[in-house]
Structure formats: structure tokens, C-alpha cells
Amino acid sequence: MQFVIASHNKHKIEEFRRILEPLDIELIEAQLSEVEENGETFIENAYVKAKSACLETGLPSIADDSGLCIDALGGEPGVRTARYAPKGQRKKTVLMKMKDVPDDKRTAYFVAAIACVFPNGDVIEVEGKCYGKIGYECKGEGGFGYDPIFMYGKHSFSEMSPEEKDAVSHRGVALRILEDRLKEYLRK
Ligand code: IMP
């Protein structure tokens, strides 16, 4: 079965492929119209993107939305994670806002929401979270986005291998739930 993926982020597409290929799902990329991500929840944004891709292509479509929620900042950057500050300034902005926050108040979590929309109107929505803390500086070279400032235990996400990150990350958790939900759906 072919699924359109409503993302151009190579890193994410690879993660999705690893999980979906064993289910005989081929992910294809398509030229899709830009969709405004102005939902109030991650799930809402993922659904809007998947629904639009499904309407445009007539194929089952999958989309995700993810972000970082920091307790000491009242859940910010949240759904605004990708546009919290200009590119290149985002981690620095978070570290500045957190500079006087003590260790026990630096708790944060990543969220990944994934929506699948089928041409017959069926919808599957899942969400995964990963809890950690905001560090005091950037650490490590790997990963992307906010990985260098997100501490999972003693290491930042950037200091972990892709496999170590997949095993605990928000997207890893969401994709494993999705795998189960899709298996169940395709069996029907
Ligand atoms: P979007 O889901 O592509 O809209 O991205 C949301 C924002 O969250 C972007 O700024 C990403 O860099 C960030 N983000 C999402 N997942 C991760 C992750 O696993 N590590 C670091 N940053 C992430």
C-alpha cells in the first residue's frame, strides 16, 4: 500500500520508513500545498496536514507535528516550537529564558503527534512523549533541532546514537504505537 508523507524533513521520513516498510507500506513524497499550522494542539496540526495531503492526492496520507514543552516556561515553546525564534537563535533563546531556573524546575518533554487520514475518511491519531530536562548549554554533535539542550538522564539527545534516541524519543514512542494501530487497522 502507498502512503503519502506530508513532510520534506529527510530525518523524519527516514524514521517513518524504518517502521512502516515492514508493514508493506511504501512512503511516497509529493508536491503538496503549504498548510498553515495554526492549530492549538500537535494532533490538530498533524491532522490538518494529513487531511489536506489526502484530499490533494486521493491516497492515504500521514503527517506529524512535534515540539518541545518546558514546564518552567508554562509549556512553551509548545506548538510554536518551529517558529519560537529566528533560525539559529532557538536554542540560545531557550537557554537565556532558563538561565535562572534551578535544576529541579528544568523539566521538559518532547511531543510527537502523528495522523493518518484515509480516502474513506478513516483517521488514526497517535501521540508519543519523552520526558527530560533542559540543560545549561549545548552538548553533543548529533541529531537536530533542540537535541543539544534536551537532557535525557546524563546525556543530551545529541550525545546519543540514532538507535539510542529512537528507543526513547517521542517520535520513536509515537511510531511504535502507530505500528500497532496500523497493523490492527490493516487486518480488518
Ligand atoms: P515540526 O514537527 O517539523 O513542525 O517541528 C517542530 C519543532 O520541534 C522543530 O523546531 C524541530 O526542530 C523541533 N523538534 C521536533 N522533534 C525534535 C527532536 O527529536 N529533536 C530536536 N528538536 C525536535
* Distance between Cα 56 and ligand 1 center (Å): 25
CA-nearest residue, atom 7 of ligand 1: 82
Instruction: In whole angstroms, give the CA distance from residue 118 to residue 84.
Output: 32
Ramachandran bin of 129, using left for φ above 0, alpha for ψ from -120 to 50, beta for the remaining angles: beta
Spatial CB neighbours of 173, under 8 Å, sequence gap ≥ 6: 112, 128, 129, 130
- Number of folded domains that form the chain: 1
Which residue is catalytic, options 65, 104, 122, 147? 65
Specify the pLDDT at position 136.
98
Beta bridge pairs of residue 63: 115
- CATH of residue 68's domain is 3.90.950.10
What pTM was estimated for this model as a whole? 0.92
Written as tens digits, the pLDDT of the chain (188 aa) is 899 999 888 888 888 888 788 888 999 999 999 888 889 999 999 999 999 999 999 999 999 999 999 999 999 999 999 889 999 999 999 999 999 999 999 999 999 999 999 999 999 999 999 999 999 999 999 888 999 999 999 999 999 998 899 899 999 999 999 999 999 998 87
Specify the pLDDT at position 102.
98
Instruction: Indicate if 104 belongs to the active site.
Output: no
Residue type, 40: E
Could you tell me if the CB of 45 is within 6 A of ligand 1?
no
Instruction: In whole angstroms, give the CA distance from residue 79 to residue 41.
Output: 6
Strand 76-77 relative to strand 26-29: parallel, antiparallel, unpaired?
Answer: unpaired
Owning domain of residue 125: 2-187
Instruction: In whole angstroms, give the CA distance from residue 122 to residue 110.
Output: 27
* Distance between Cα 67 and ligand 1 center (Å): 5
Ligand 1 atom with minimal separation from the 65 CA: 2
Q: Specify whether the CB–CB gap between 132 and 147 falls below 8 A.
A: no
